[in-house]
Amino acid sequence: MMKPSFFLVGAPKCGTSSLAMWLAQHPKVCFSDPKEPHYFANDINSGNKVTDQVQYFNECFAHCGQETMAAGEGSTWYLYSKCAPENIIRYQKNAKFIIMVRSPIDFIVSLHSWNIYKRYEDEVSLSRAWELAESRRRGRHLPQTCPEPLFLQYRHVGALGSRVQEFIARVPKGSVKLIKLEEMQNRPEDVYLSVLDFLGLPNDGRTQFPRHNVSRRDKITWLRTMIILSSRLKRKLGVRRQLGVLSHLNKLVTEEGRASILNEEFRKYLEREMRTESELIQNL
């Protein structure tokens, strides 16, 4: 059994899927399948969480071979967990962490759109969803299809600078690598090589850096809803075998783009509200 040694802990919608895919294709890396088991976050229900120890170690990393130099996973809500950093360090004292961030405002818009796409959010107006945060924190106005209320706390989740500082303070010094999405988009090869260096891995000669898990929205809403329900039923029944049928159908009934509605007035409000967090991100 290969012991995971690095963790891509967030934030969601900040390019983690692309980096995870690039690393998973490295011949010396074994990346968790699924990407986001969230095993160490006892306080967060990600919707597809792996809770069984045997399943986590024997199934998520079953494909690791003798050539593997580093194993890792990419549970992006670890960044917000109250217990994941400590749980990971207890398990792997030399663990390395990668955190990806972006502009807080762009992140909040993207997260809201993702929530709508996943059927976790039923309010298409971001400003209205923002206003509902307090009542949702108290358990009111929560969509029945949202597995974790934290997903809808846009102010708290969007405070990336504060969340990163809190995480870094809870893990050993020098164990965290921070990546800004804008840098990865502009200089993907440089960022990728710096990650390999951080993890102690050789250069595998990668020259292509495709994007993965870009924002999508519905083309055929009712059929997309049926696909989501079918996928959730599979998980409840414990069916892990992937035939790719639902994934293929999902691509047919969706398209690239965001579902969020954001007017200029509310964008200006967000710029004022998140100014401190934006400055923190710039100075990290």
**In this model, does residue 237 exceed pLDDT 70?**
no
pLDDT of residue 243: 58
pLDDT of residue 238: 64
pLDDT of residue 225: 77
Q: Which residues contact 55 (CB under 8 A, 6 or more apart)?
A: none
Structural domain spans, the chain: 6-215+257-283
Interhelix angle 188-199/16-24, rounded to 10 degrees, is 60
The DSSP line for the chain is: -PPP-EEEEE-TTSSHHHHHHHHHTSTTEEE-SSS---TT-TT---SS----HHHHHHTTTTT--TT-SEEEE--TTGGG-SSHHHHHHHH-TT-EEEEEE--HHHHHHHHHHHHHHTTS----BHHHHHHTHHHHHTT-S--TT-S-GGGG-HHHHH-HHHHHHHHHTTS-TT-EEEEEHHHHHH-HHHHHHHHHHHHT------------S--EEESSHHHHHHHHHHHHHHHHTT-----SHHHHHHHHTEEES---B--HHHHHHHHHHTHHHHHHHHH-
Pick the CATH number of 6-215+257-283 from 3.40.50.300, 2.60.90.10, 1.10.10.10, 3.40.50.2000: 3.40.50.300
Q: 162-189 pLDDT, tens per residue?
A: 999 999 999 999 999 999 999 999 999 9
Task: Please state the pTM of the whole predicted model.
Answer: 0.90
In which band, very low, low, confident or very high, does the pLDDT at 47 lie, cut at 50, 70 and 90? confident
pLDDT of residue 260: 67
pLDDT over 90, % of the chain: 72
pLDDT of residue 259: 60
Question: Is the pLDDT higher at 33 or at 213?
Answer: 33
Q: 117-154 pLDDT, tens per residue?
A: 999 999 999 999 999 999 999 999 999 889 999 999 99
